[in-house]
Structure 1
Amino acid sequence: MSGRLSITLRLTLLFAAASTTVLLLLGYLIGGSVERHFAEQDMEVLTGKLKLTQHALEKVGSNDDLGALREQLTNSLIGHQGLAVLVATQQGQVLFATSGAEFPRELSRRVQAGAIRAATWKGKDNQPQRGIFALAQSGIPGAPPAIIAVATDISHHAHFMHAFRATLWSVVLLAACLTGFLGWIAARRGLAPLQAITREAAGITAGRLDSRLPVDTVPVELAELADTLNGMWARLEDSFRRLSNFSSDLAHELRTPVSNLLTQTQVTLSKARTLDEYRDILASNAEELERLSRIIADMLFLAKSDNHLVVPNRETVNLIDEVNGVFEYYGILSEEKSIAMTCAGNGCVSGDRLMLRRAISNLLSNAVRHTPEGGRIAVRVDDAEEGAIKLSIENTGETIPAEHLTRLFDRFYRADSSRQRSSEGAGLGLAITRSILRAHGGEARVSSENGITVFSLEFAPG
């Protein structure tokens, strides 16, 4: 944990590094521009004096004119502090030199005819110098070209650049610190909504799952995160609510048979009974135990389904044959209520025959139970979209309110009194049906309007 940097610190370092880099680059460019400007100024002065010296040397027609050359050059240098001029033969004989002039010999020897050589060097007292060298022809017939060197002291330039760089580094250091501080403030303020989200998330408990983040008040960049968290909390709230309702319903379903068994056993033990009475009591207890066994078996099946442990065996199943087989089981009950039952269509799916028959039986049992006397139940198998198969079970009766439709497949869910499950079942049939269909890659659906309720089993292609 100690080796990890916070986002605030990372942003602060990034701001500081970015500003330092920009300032250094800007200082380098400005410093280079200033140095080039000084060099251009120096070269302009040096080139002017070089041309003046070349012109004066061209007018020297004999050795007697050298005196006039010295006087002319001396007069031309009046007012030019720090400027030095040297005129010498290639053999090293000095024809003219200003006081204190000092030029590197190795540089002057490299001068070529028709070219001007520029250079910088350290003079006496370690003073920086900038100068140019060139060959010039005198007016003396047959005389070889002379070397002309012009230099100037650039100490003031060096002092300026030294002060400039010192100022630049100071400004860069100050700007880096200031930018880092301002970046820290900006990062803190920018991450404040994220910290608010963190505080809100930390306050979420099982009793506060209804809390939601205000998406409209967070920055655009965090809106998607807020939406995701709100969606997660909504799913958790729904899951907790369902779990709470399920626990309550399960306790209610188990309480009745357990209470019946306990009461009946206590009453039986209160006094001696005849053999027939004991036999009747044991038969009644067996019925309650069978009910408990069914509930436990159904719950185990649903638990396996929730954990994707229900793996159906695959075989070709003719849905119409399975429906007809279930029709025979409910035939007597439908005749008692004068319910007309029809079956049409054709379709085969790949799945577990016993599981699919159980799903169909659950839906037909539900339809027979809630279809009024004289009503009808119609089963149809059709080809759905893209090769899918759809089995629909339609029955007449009261319309189921829309608010109950989405929850009919929940465990132990009770709609209004007209749709409540009888004591024959534990209220898990529709939930098991949906689990079976999902294990086969399909889905169970329901719709109800105008006194017609339709349960559909939709099988995926395959």
Structure 2
Amino acid sequence: MTATEAASHPRGNGNAAAAITASAAGTTQHPPPGTGSIQGALTRWFAVQALIGLSLVCVAIYAVTSWSFQVKQSSEFERQAELIRHLIQESADDPLRNELRHKLDDFFSTHPDISLVLRRNDEIVYASTPHRASARWLWMPSDGKRQPEGAAMHLQLGIDVQEDARLLTRLAWTLVGAVALGAAMISLTGALLVRRGLRPLKRLTAQTAATGPEHVGQRIDPAPYAAEITPWVVQFNAVLDRAEQAYRQLESFNADVAHELRTPLANLIGMVEVELARPRSADELRNVLFSALEEARRVSVIVIDMLFLSQADRGATARRSAPVALADQVRSVLDFHEAKLEEAGLEVTVRGDARLGIDTGLVRRALSNLLSNASRYAAPGSTIAVTIDTRPDEVWVSVSNRGDPVPAEMLPHLFERFFRAERSRTDSSEHHGLGLAIVAAIARMHGGQTLATSETGVTEVGFSMRREVSG
């Protein structure tokens, strides 16, 4: 069995043009202007995060320490106020307060960090002289203590907080230095870690640069790389596989096109040269022109088919019509092949039916190619079966015939361009091996796929079309 071409059809062969180019030279890709490095970006983020994090921690430490000093000062106020109240209570029987002044003088002589102003109404009963003139005092009033004669004593205590303020200032500068030094150290170590972490990417870059058309078959081993990089390596290897396959297909395509066009062009040139070698009659020239026209048409068919395949390869999709009965489309194509089928003594049966929105012209072209292919290789007097199989998401259309089996190793290549299972057949020059490639392209344009089997003397070739998703 070989791939076949159908009669020229207007659908899919319009004003399309395909340009096929191949570049074997590798190109060096440079990052666009303004794109920074990952190492620089990560280093900056390390520095910013370290600065913010350490600053928050140090602010919290300073706030807690300042609050602790305030608690200590309040406690000290309360303790000293309680002691002075006790002294006042002990001197309650002394109306002149001489004993109280004497006790307070003795007390403040040993406590230079405390000052006191003692009032009764608007009269200052006692006022200590601060021993530290340059100290920073924090004053706090205390509640009054009522005396037996009825007047209340009001205390106003002062505590020297200069040392606490000095300690807080020292702590603040220490924390600022810790933030700066810590951020610098974290940034430096982060930069070193990032550089070390990105080392595999640099190695991967070098290995990637070593691949290309000049190193066919060379792949990158994903084993040495981290789990995050392995998928990229696997995908890159897959891209290389597809690229090499595309190169091979392109080279094969160029060779096949040159081979297919060489014969008709050589025939055309040869006929013209022979006829121009000596004078010819009008009838002889007319016959030569007819022969030249046939060769030109053959070249035109090849070019038109290649343009259609180029459109399909670029992702063209079928323009679906309203749902139609596929069995009716098969019968319309059978009318076109009726004479050829009768000449070969072949019968055709149609099994099944389905209503589906399709590109009618393209589907008829695919059916014509399949029927033409089957009729050429079917055993004389046998029956060709066209089966329409309806499935939930797609519809399969297959054509089977009895005849010589196709070798199993050739089945995967039947839908390739210019493939012929038997190039030695007498009609191989009339069929350039694009028929089944066009069937595969039409199947793809309908969201489907192809199949080819050959078992127990029955060869079946078909394609599927997906149902349109509503909504």
Q: Is the 8 A contact 1:89 1:146 kept in 2?
A: yes
Where in structure 2 are the equivalents of 1:57-456 lying within 5 Å?
57-64=88-95, 66-93=97-124, 95-100=125-130, 124-125=133-134, 127-137=135-145, 139-142=147-150, 144-208=151-215, 210-271=217-278, 281-307=288-314, 314=321, 316=324, 318-335=328-345, 341-372=348-379, 376-382=383-389, 384-386=390-392, 388-415=394-421, 422-456=428-462
> Quick one: which amino acid aligns to residue 97 of structure 1?
A
More RCO (CA 8 Å, sep 6+): 2
Q: What's the CA shift string for 1:254-297, capped at 9, x where partnerless?
A: 11222223334334444556777656544443332232122122
Note the C-alpha offset of 1:427: 0.9
- Equivalents in 1 of 2:299, 2:116: separation in Å? 120
* Residues 119, 154 of structure 2: 8 Å contact kept: yes
Tell me which moved more, 182-191 or 59-68: 59-68
What's the CA shift for 1:173? 0.9
User: Is the helix fraction higher in 1 or 2?
Assistant: 1
Give per-residue Cα distances to partners, 1:146-189, cap 9 Å, x unaligned: 22222221222222211111111111111111211222222223
- Correspondence for 2:38: 7
Please tell me whether the aligned partners of residues 16 and 176 of structure 1 are also in contact (alpha carbons under 8 angstroms): yes
Once the two structures are superposed, residues 195-252 of structure 1 have per-residue CA deviations (whole angstroms, 9 ceiling, x without a partner) of: 4444444455444464444333333333333344333333333223222211111011
- State the distance in 2 between where 1:354 and 1:425 align: 21
C-alpha deviation, 1:386, in angstroms: 2.5
| Match in the other structure for 2:5 | none
Q: TM-score, normalised on structure 2?
A: 0.80
One-letter amino acid of the counterpart of residue 99, structure 1: T
The partner residue of 1:33 within 48, 61, 64 is 64
Indicate how the Cα distance of structure 1 residues 167 and 22 shifts in structure 2: closer, same or farther if over 3 A, else same.
same
Aligned length: 434
Distance 2:179 2:318 in 1: 69
Counterpart secondary structure, 1:221? coil
1:322 alignment partner AA: S
Query: RMSD of aligned C-alpha atoms?
Result: 3.3
Q: Percent identity?
A: 29
State the alpha-carbon separation in 1 of the partners of residues 241 and 426 from structure 2. 28
In 2: Cα distance, 1:236 partner to 1:175 partner: 50
- Separation (CA, whole Å) in 2 of partners of 1:79 and 1:448: 116
In structure 1, runs of 5+ residues without a counterpart are 102-122
Structure of higher CA gyration radius = 1
Given that residues 87 and 146 in structure 1 are in contact (C-alpha distance below 8 angstroms), is that contact kept between their aligned partners in structure 2?
yes
Query: Relative to structure 1, is the Cα distance of residues 359 and 3 closer, same or farther in structure 2, using a 3 angstrom cutoff?
Result: closer
